[in-house]
């Protein structure tokens, strides 16, 4: 090998060594600098040193996170206070991850990227922690204030009438979605206000369904000795009745017709007032005071016909509701087992 060739090879080697040294030196100058295109929680930190990135994260991400999170539903507003959250952030760790992402790819890849102005498409997820128990308590509070069970339409009977109670649509917060929205807000300064997603809960019985739910309804007004029959929640007919005498009061409250019988058998109560008939059974006939029809209500008390027409409009029975034979037959044909009966 000639002298001239040797010198040429040595020159090339030295140039390569010098180039490698300069390249290493140049790359080392960017050791703590974050590549363009790197973002931390939406904050652009490209071109910053590690310390500068930490300052930028603190100013643009962490400090704004100290604001309250607001959840709205209609006119209601619920505030998750920042001081209750005890927010903590690993600022240095996020900056270090941004630097590490900028150093990926090897020295030649990094150098080419700097020369060409190419960016590193990397997103660093914020390393932020907070009091999960405070979030749980807040979400429970929102649900407790917003959630409402649906209310079925119903009737509220009184001695003189029946009042219609309208149905109400219920509502329920989508707690899983609200939790995701709140947790997202706790990582982003741009999402501090949240509209709660609320599901409507329809009642099983609406106001429009109420008449079908109560095709017949009976109201007994003891003070006026009257029985009112409502059909489809409209007053159909009023009957004069007798009720229990003092000491044998007709039971008050809401009941329903439990059983029905034509020409009923009288199972005589085992009570002193029944005398020798106590505990016996009396078949239909002139000796049976339960005339024509029977509609059982509660504990031996019921509605039945009577031959003692003069007792109607007074407190005369041993707890039952007496009607004339014509009236009890008429009522019997109009109502079914299960018909509500309110006695006031």
pLDDT at residue number 60: 85
- For residue 122, the surrounding DSSP H or E stretch is strand 122-124
Is 90 exceeded by the pLDDT of residue 189? no
Is 70 exceeded by the pLDDT of residue 192? yes
pLDDT at residue number 269: 78
Q: What percent of the chain is predicted at pLDDT more than 70?
A: 94
Q: What's the CA gap between 292 and 287, in Å, rounded?
A: 13
pLDDT at residue number 103: 86
Question: Which band of pLDDT confidence, cut at 50, 70 and 90, is reported for residue 190?
Answer: confident
Q: What's the CA gap between 191 and 80, in Å, rounded?
A: 13
CATH label, 214-343, candidates 2.40.440.10, 3.40.50.880, 3.40.50.1100, 3.40.50.720: 2.40.440.10
Task: List Cα–Cα distances, 1 to 6, 11, 14, 174, 275, in angstroms.
Answer: 7, 15, 19, 84, 146
- Dmax (CA) for the chain in angstroms is 150
pLDDT at residue number 188: 78
CB 233 within 8 A of CB 155: yes
Question: Which band of pLDDT confidence, cut at 50, 70 and 90, is reported for residue 266?
Answer: confident
pLDDT at residue number 3: 73
Task: List Cα–Cα distances, 192 to 40, 60, 63, in angstroms.
Answer: 18, 14, 13
Q: What's the CA gap between 283 and 340, in Å, rounded?
A: 28
What sign has the CA pseudo-torsion 18, 23, 28, 29?
Answer: positive
pLDDT at residue number 170: 98
The least confident of 70-74, 200-204, 270-274, 340-344 is 270-274
Average of per-residue pLDDT across 237-260: 96
Is 80 exceeded by the pLDDT of residue 9? no
What are the tens digits of pLDDT across the range 303-326? 999 999 999 999 999 999 999 999
Q: What's the CA gap between 169 and 49, in Å, rounded?
A: 58
pLDDT at residue number 191: 77
Average of per-residue pLDDT across 187-213: 90
Tally of CA atoms within 13 A in the half-sphere of 80 that contains its CB? 33
Q: What's the CA gap between 167 and 300, in Å, rounded?
A: 35
Average of per-residue pLDDT across 327-339: 98
Is 80 exceeded by the pLDDT of residue 276? no
Is 60 exceeded by the pLDDT of residue 1? no
Q: What does the DSSP assignment read for 150-219?
A: -B--EEEE-SS-EEEEPPB-EEEE-HHHHHHHHHHHTT-TT--EEEPPEEEE--SS-GGGHHHH-SEEEE
3-state helix, strand, coil in the chain (%, to 5): 35, 30, 35
Pairing label, strands 216-221, 340-343: parallel
Q: What's the CA gap between 162 and 217, in Å, rounded?
A: 9
pLDDT at residue number 179: 96
What are the tens digits of pLDDT across the range 79-122? 999 899 888 888 899 899 899 888 887 787 777 777 887 888 89
Q: What's the CA gap between 21 and 8, in Å, rounded?
A: 20
Average of per-residue pLDDT across 200-228: 95
- Cα dihedral 123, 125, 127, 128, rounded to 10, equals 120
Task: List Cα–Cα distances, 224 to 40, 121, 157, 241, 286, in angstroms.
Answer: 81, 87, 16, 9, 29
Look at residues 45, 239, 14, 19 and name the one whose alpha carbon lies nearest to residue 123: 45
**Mean pLDDT for all residues in the chain:** 89
Q: Which residue is it, tokens 């040595």?
A: 10
What are the tens digits of pLDDT across the range 20-66? 666 566 667 677 888 899 999 888 998 899 899 889 888 888 888 88
């Amino acid at each position: 090998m000639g002298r001239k060739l040797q010198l040429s090879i040595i020159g090339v080697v030295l140039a390569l060594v010098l180039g490698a040294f300069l390249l290493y030196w140049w790359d080392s100058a960017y050791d703590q600098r974050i590549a363009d295109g790197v973002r931390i929680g939406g904050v652009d930190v490209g071109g910053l040193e590690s310390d500068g990135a930490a300052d930028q994260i603190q100013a643009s991400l962490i400090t704004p996170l100290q604001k309250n999170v607001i959840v709205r539903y209609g006119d209601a507003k619920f505030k998750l206070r920042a001081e209750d959250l005890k927010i903590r952030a690993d600022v240095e760790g996020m900056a270090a991850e941004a630097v590490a992402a900028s150093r990926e790819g090897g020295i030649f890849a990094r150098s080419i990227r700097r020369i060409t102005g190419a960016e590193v498409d990397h997103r660093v997820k914020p390393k932020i922690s907070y009091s999960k128990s405070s979030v749980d308590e807040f979400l429970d509070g929102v649900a407790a204030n917003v959630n409402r069970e649906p209310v079925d339409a119903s009737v509220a009977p009184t001695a003189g009438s029946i009042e219609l109670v309208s149905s109400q649509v219920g509502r329920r917060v989508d707690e899983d979605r609200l939790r995701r929205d709140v947790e997202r807000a706790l990582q982003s300064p741009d999402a501090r206000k949240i509209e709660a997603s609320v599901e409507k809960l329809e009642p099983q019985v609406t106001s429009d369904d109420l008449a079908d739910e109560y095709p017949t309804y009976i109201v007994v007004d003891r003070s006026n000795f009257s029985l009112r029959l409502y059909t489809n929640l409209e007053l159909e007919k009023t009957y004069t009745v007798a009720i229990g005498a003092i000491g044998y009061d007709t039971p008050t409250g809401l009941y329903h017709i439990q059983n029905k019988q034509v020409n009923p058998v009288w199972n005589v109560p085992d009570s002193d007032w029944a005398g020798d008939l106590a505990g016996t059974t009396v078949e239909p006939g002139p000796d049976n005071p339960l005339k024509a029809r029977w509609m059982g209500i509660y504990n031996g008390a019921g509605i039945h016909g009577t031959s003692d027409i003069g007792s109607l409009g007074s407190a005369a029975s041993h707890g039952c509701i007496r009607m004339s034979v014509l009236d009890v037959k008429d009522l019997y044909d109009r109502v079914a087992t299960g018909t509500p009966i309110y006695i006031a």
